[in-house]
């Protein structure tokens, strides 16, 4: 099915729900023990088997727009250095010198022709190769190849750079995406303008992520932001292995009733959210803008760091464009920090109160059910393989 035909199909489905006051649904209600949110042993097991051994979309391709660009970060306690080499290939390394383990690059984004350890000045090129050590005559002979930066499995696909946090693992990014890369390609992420990035502290991993996977809360939590533009509790749900596409109707959806299908412009009336397992959400909310969310679990089950990236279809130049992009950015921050995570903090605070032994997910929350089922599936599969 062509992209235009797919969008027409989505518009038909959404319009049907609007007319009948319905939404896509799971087969039944689902229950999940509260221990899934608070148990530290379970938490560590899930981080180990999901976040540390499967591909994570750690950066957008536009963050490394040309050779010599890098991004350094710590992910689940792992120091990672992403670099686009002189050959144009994006690679990932452990950000640790092979001499005594000091980081060779400060966290953040920038450009560099080489990375120099601040401890003993060992030097590495943008392909991770050891290219020099301080005072080699006195130190002794060192094999450059066996002392290059430790490389992490890495692939670039659909405008994102995917990395496994465990060296030596082998995977095929196409197999992992289960066809979802074709959906991600429709976003054309490699050609957006990176307007802003920021980090937001939040409550626990699953408390946060549940909110990205349903439209049931929109009218109550987001009355001053998202609910002005999208229809609450109406959502289309399509899955690609563990990944999901969520489609919401904009408030203008009903206008399609006044037009023949051949005149429809579905993008104007739909909001698509591409949810990449386990922690990335790509959402176009207003106009030519996209919000990219990367949510990283913290050291304990009750903490997370969310990296919010604001993309614009083009660099804002005119006063009107600058105002539109600034407004979108402010709304994205308010909706997450001041609305979603404010409620999430209250949920997190009450988890150990004993009020609930389990949480219940409705039939109108199929994406949350899908997510938690895949978390359980991956943990069970890895446990049985050991």
> Per-residue confidence of the chain (386 residues) as pLDDT tens digits?
567 899 999 999 999 999 999 999 999 999 999 999 999 999 999 999 999 999 999 999 999 999 999 999 999 999 999 999 999 999 999 999 999 999 999 999 999 999 999 999 999 999 999 999 999 889 999 998 899 999 999 999 999 999 999 999 999 999 999 999 999 999 999 999 999 999 999 999 999 999 999 999 999 999 888 888 899 999 999 999 999 999 999 999 999 999 999 999 998 999 999 999 999 999 976 568 999 999 999 999 999 999 999 999 999 999 999 999 999 999 999 999 999 999 999 999 999 899 999 999 999 999 999 999 999 999 998 655 54
Residue 68 shares a structural domain with residue 97: yes
CATH of the domain at 103: 2.102.10.10
Provide the 8-state DSSP code for 149: P
> Where in the chain does DSSP place strands (E)?
30-33, 56-60, 69-75, 78-84, 90-94, 108-111, 114-116, 123-125, 130-132, 151-152, 154-157, 160-163, 193-202, 230-240, 243-250, 270-276, 280-283, 289-297, 304-312, 358-361
CA pair distance 290, 238, nearest whole angstrom: 20
Do 242 and 175 touch, CB atoms closer than 8 A? no
Residue 250 shares a structural domain with residue 103: no
pLDDT at residue 108, rounded to an integer: 96
Residue 146 shares a structural domain with residue 276: no
Residue 137 shares a structural domain with residue 199: no
The pTM score is 0.95
Domain that holds residue 248: 3-53+179-385
CA pair distance 369, 363, nearest whole angstrom: 9
CA pair distance 50, 139, nearest whole angstrom: 41
pLDDT at residue 89, rounded to an integer: 98
pLDDT at residue 382, rounded to an integer: 65
List all residues 6 or more positions away from 240 whose beta carbon is below 8 Å from its beta carbon.
177, 178, 179, 180, 183
**Domain termination residue (choose one: 151, 170, 189):** 170
Residue 238 shares a structural domain with residue 317: yes
């Amino acid at each position: 099915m062509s992209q235009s035909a797919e969008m027409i199909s989505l518009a038909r489905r959404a319009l049907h729900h609007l007319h009948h006051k319905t939404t896509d649904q799971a087969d039944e209600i689902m229950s999940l023990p509260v221990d899934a949110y608070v148990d530290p042993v379970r938490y560590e097991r899930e981080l180990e088997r999901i976040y540390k051994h499967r591909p994570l979309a750690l950066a957008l391709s536009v963050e490394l727009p040309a050779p010599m660009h890098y991004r350094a970060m710590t992910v689940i306690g792992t120091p990672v250095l992403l670099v686009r080499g002189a050959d144009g290939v994006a690679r990932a390394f452990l950000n640790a010198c092979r001499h005594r383990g000091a980081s060779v690059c400060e966290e953040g984004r920038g450009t560099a022709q080489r990375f120099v350890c601040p401890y003993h000045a060992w030097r590495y090129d943008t392909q991770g190769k050891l290219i020099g050590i301080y005072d080699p005559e006195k130190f002794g002979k060192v094999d450059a190849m066996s002392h290059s930066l430790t490389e992490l499995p890495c692939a670039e696909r659909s405008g994102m750079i995917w990395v496994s946090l465990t060296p030596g693992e082998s995977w095929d990014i196409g197999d992992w995406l289960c066809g979802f890369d074709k959906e991600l390609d429709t976003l054309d992420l490699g050609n957006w303008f990176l307007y802003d990035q920021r980090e937001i502290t939040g409550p626990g991993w699953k408390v946060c992520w549940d909110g990205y996977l349903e439209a049931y809360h929109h009218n109550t939590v987001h009355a001053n932001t998202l609910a002005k533009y999208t229809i609450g509790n109406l959502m289309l749900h399509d899955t690609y292995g563990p990944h999901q596409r969520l489609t919401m109707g904009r408030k203008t959806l009903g206008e399609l009733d006044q037009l023949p299908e051949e005149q429809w412009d579905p993008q104007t009336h739909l909001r698509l959210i591409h949810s990449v397992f386990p922690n990335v959400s790509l959402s176009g909310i207003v106009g030519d803008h996209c919000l990219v969310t990367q949510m990283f679990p913290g050291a304990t089950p009750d903490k997370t760091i969310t990296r919010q990236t604001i993309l614009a279809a083009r660099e804002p130049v005119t006063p009107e464009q600058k105002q539109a992009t600034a407004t979108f950015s402010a709304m994205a921050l308010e909706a997450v920090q001041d609305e979603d995570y404010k409620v999430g903090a209250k949920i997190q605070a009450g988890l150990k109160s004993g009020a609930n032994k389990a949480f219940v997910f409705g039939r109108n929350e199929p994406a949350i059910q899908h997510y938690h089922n895949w978390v359980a599936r991956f943990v069970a599969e890895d446990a049985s393989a050991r």
